[in-house]
Amino acid sequence: MDCSTVSETAPTDTTAHRLESLTSWDADWAGLAVVVTGISKTGFSVADTLAELGARVVVVAASDDAESLALADTLKIVGVKDVILGAATSTMLPLVEGEQPQLVVTSPGYRPDHPLLAAAAAANIPIWGDVELAWRVRTKAGRKTAAWITITGTNGKTTTTTMVESMLQGAGLRAIAAGNIGTPILDAVRDPEGYDALAVELSSFQLHWTESVAPVASVCLNLAEDHVDWHGGFDAYASDKAKIYANTQIACVYNAEQIETERMVEAADVQEGCRAVGFTTSIPAISMVGVVEGLLVDRAFLAERKDSATELAAISDIGDLVPRHLVANAAAAAALVLAYGLTPADVRKGLQAYHNGDHRIQAVASAEGVLWVNDSKATNPHAAAASLASFNPVIWIAGGLSKGVDYNELVREHAPRLKAVVLIGEDSSALANSLARHAPNVRVIMASGAHTETVGKTANGDGVMAQAVAEAAALSTPGDTVLMAPASASMDQFTSYAHRGQAFIDAVRELLESRASAKKES
C-alpha cells in the first residue's frame, strides 16, 4: 500500500494523447494507472470495469465496514492492485505501484473540493466520472452498441427515465434504465448481449465529471435550488445540469414552462441538425409535445405540425392519480422517444404499462374521507411543491435534512392550502422558521422525539413517523389529504427516502387497522 501524495506536475503529452484515444472497449487500456474513489455500487463497477480492461487500479474509500472489506476482497480477486479503506487515508491521492496516477475516476458522492480530488486537480491529473468512462467503453467488437437517451432535472428524473424505459420496451426493444437509477451505467454497458437503447438518468454530480457523452436525445426537466452544498452555489449547480445537452445528436427536449431550461438549450454546443423540442402540460405550440382536452399530443414530430397534432395517449392511460408534474414527465418522455424514432402507438403502450413506483405521490390509503399520500421521494422544496399543488386542504408531514436550501418560496406559495403541518427531522428549524414567517396561522406540531438524539436511524425514525402519523390523524377530517412530502433528505433519521416512505406506509396501516379493530370491539 502506498499513500504517498503525487507531485504537482502536468501529465506528459503521451499520457494526454493516450487518454484522448481511449474511446472504445477495444482501445489500449492495459497498464493505465488509475485511482478510483469509492467502493459502493458505483465505485465497485468502475474498479471492476477498469480491472477487466487491464488497467492498474487502486481504490480509495472512507468506509471500512464489513461490507466494504468484502467488496475489497472481491476486487482484489478480479485484478485490482490495491484497495485502501478508512477515513484516515481516504483524503490522500495514492501512487499506483510507485507511479503517479494517469487518471482518477470518481464516484458521484465525492465533491470537487474533496482533498483527494483537489490533489489530483493540482497535479493536472484528469478526473472522470463513471458516466464518462461508460461512454468511452460503450462500443466493443461483437457487442451491440446502445443509443443513449439522457435525463436530468431537479425533480422527476426517475419517473421520466422509467417512462422512457417502458416506452422503449413496449416498442420491442432491448432497453434498460441505468445511471443514477437502479443499474449502474457501467453494468448496463458491459452487458454481454448489449442493448438497443439506454434510458440514462444523470445527477448533477455525474454531469459535473462528464465531457464526451453524445446522446441521441436529452432533457433537463426542470431547475430549482438543490445540492448547493455540493456544487458551492446555485449557478454552478445549474451549469452542471446544462451539460446534459452537450453533443446531443437529434433533439434537446426542454420544459416550455421554465425558461431556464430553454436557455440551456440555446447555449448548448450540439451536433449539426439537432433541434429543440419543448414539452408542456398545456396546449402545445409548434415543435412541442403537450396536452389537449385530456390527451397527450405531439406537434413536433409530424409533417403537418403547423396546423395539426398527433394523439399519443390519454392522460388516464398513465393512472388514476395523475398530478400535473406526472403529466409533464410523460410529455418529456414522449418527446425523447419520438426523437429516437418510436411511434405514437409505442408511447401509449409504454404509458399503459408504466408503474409510477413506490414513494412518488403514492396513494397509501383512503379511510373516513381522508386520503393518505406518500411522496417520500420529494427530497427538496421543488419536488414538495409539485405534491402540495395536487391536493387541498393538506395536513403536511415534512422536514428532515435540508441540504442548505431555502423554504420561504415553497411555504409562501402553498400556505393557503395548508391545514396543519407536522414536522419530523432532527433539525427542521429552517422549515419551521419559514412556516412562522409565511404561514403564521397554520398550526405546526413537532412530532414527539423528532429532535432528540438519534439512538439508531431505523428505530428512531420509525418511531417518529408513527408519532407524526398519529398527530396528523388527530387533526384530519373528511376531505383532507395527509401528505408526507418532506422537502428534505432522509439521512438524519432514516437510511433512505424509501425507508422513510415505508415507515409512513407502515404507520398509516397500523393506525387504520387499530381504529378498525377498536370499532369492532365497541
The whole-number pLDDT of residue 461 equals: 65
Where among 353, 378, 394 does a domain terminate?
353
Amino acid at 466: A
Contact 146, 78 (CB under 8 A): no
Residues comprising the binding site?
153-159
- Lookup: cell for 160: 421520466
- Lookup: cell for 90: 481516504
Query: 83 lies in which domain range?
Result: 13-133
Whether 504 is in a domain gets the answer yes
The whole-number pLDDT of residue 460 equals: 61
Q: What is the distance between the alpha carbons of residues 145 and 279, in angstroms, rounded to a whole number?
A: 28
The whole-number pLDDT of residue 517 equals: 83
- CA distances (Å), origin 511, targets 258, 474, 520: 41, 11, 14
- Whichever domain contains 43, its CATH number is 3.40.50.720
The whole-number pLDDT of residue 370 equals: 92
Looking at the fold, whether 349 and 399 belong to one and the same domain comes out as: no
Please, where are the H alpha helices in 5-84? 13-21, 41-53, 66-77
- Whichever domain contains 311, its CATH number is 3.40.1190.10
Whether 519 is in a domain gets the answer no
Whether 145 is in a domain gets the answer yes
Looking at the fold, whether 374 and 483 belong to one and the same domain comes out as: yes
Looking at the fold, whether 262 and 344 belong to one and the same domain comes out as: yes
Whether 431 is in a domain gets the answer yes
Looking at the fold, whether 157 and 218 belong to one and the same domain comes out as: yes
Whether 161 is in a domain gets the answer yes
Give which of 231, 270, 269, 276 is closest to 252, Cα–Cα: 276
Whether 522 is in a domain gets the answer no
The whole-number pLDDT of residue 418 equals: 97
| Residue 141: exposure state from Cβ atoms within 10 A (0-12, 13-18, ≥19) | exposed
Whether 279 is in a domain gets the answer yes
Looking at the fold, whether 188 and 232 belong to one and the same domain comes out as: yes
Q: What is the distance between the alpha carbons of residues 218 and 224, in angstroms, rounded to a whole number?
A: 18
Looking at the fold, whether 240 and 173 belong to one and the same domain comes out as: yes
Residues comprising the binding site for ATP?
153-159
Residue whose entry in the numeric block shows the C-alpha cell 445549474: 238
Looking at the fold, whether 322 and 424 belong to one and the same domain comes out as: no
Q: What is the distance between the alpha carbons of residues 203 and 271, in angstroms, rounded to a whole number?
A: 22
The whole-number pLDDT of residue 10 equals: 47
Q: What is the H or E stretch that residue 106 is in?
A: strand 103-106
- Whichever domain contains 456, its CATH number is 3.90.190.20
The whole-number pLDDT of residue 402 equals: 83
Contact 249, 214 (CB under 8 A): yes
How many structural domains are present in the chain? 3
Where among 285, 318, 353 does a domain terminate?
353
Q: What is the distance between the alpha carbons of residues 483 and 504, in angstroms, rounded to a whole number?
A: 10
Looking at the fold, whether 206 and 323 belong to one and the same domain comes out as: yes
Looking at the fold, whether 368 and 251 belong to one and the same domain comes out as: no
Looking at the fold, whether 129 and 145 belong to one and the same domain comes out as: no
Where among 289, 320, 353 does a domain terminate?
353
Give which of 153, 137, 156 is closest to 145, Cα–Cα: 137
Q: What is the distance between the alpha carbons of residues 169 and 196, in angstroms, rounded to a whole number?
A: 10
Q: What is the H or E stretch that residue 436 is in?
A: helix 429-438
The whole-number pLDDT of residue 453 equals: 42
The 3-state DSSP class for residue 439 equals coil
Taking the alpha carbons at both ends of the chain, their separation in whole angstroms is 70
Residue 267 C-beta-side C-alpha neighbours within 13 Å = 13
φ/ψ of 192, rounded to 5, equals -60, -35
Q: What stretches in the chain show pLDDT beneath 70?
A: 1-12, 225-232, 357, 448-461, 522
Looking at the fold, whether 330 and 466 belong to one and the same domain comes out as: no
Please, where are the H alpha helices in 282-354? 324-340, 344-353
- Note the pTM of the prediction, 2 decimals: 0.77
Looking at the fold, whether 176 and 304 belong to one and the same domain comes out as: yes
Whether 8 is in a domain gets the answer no
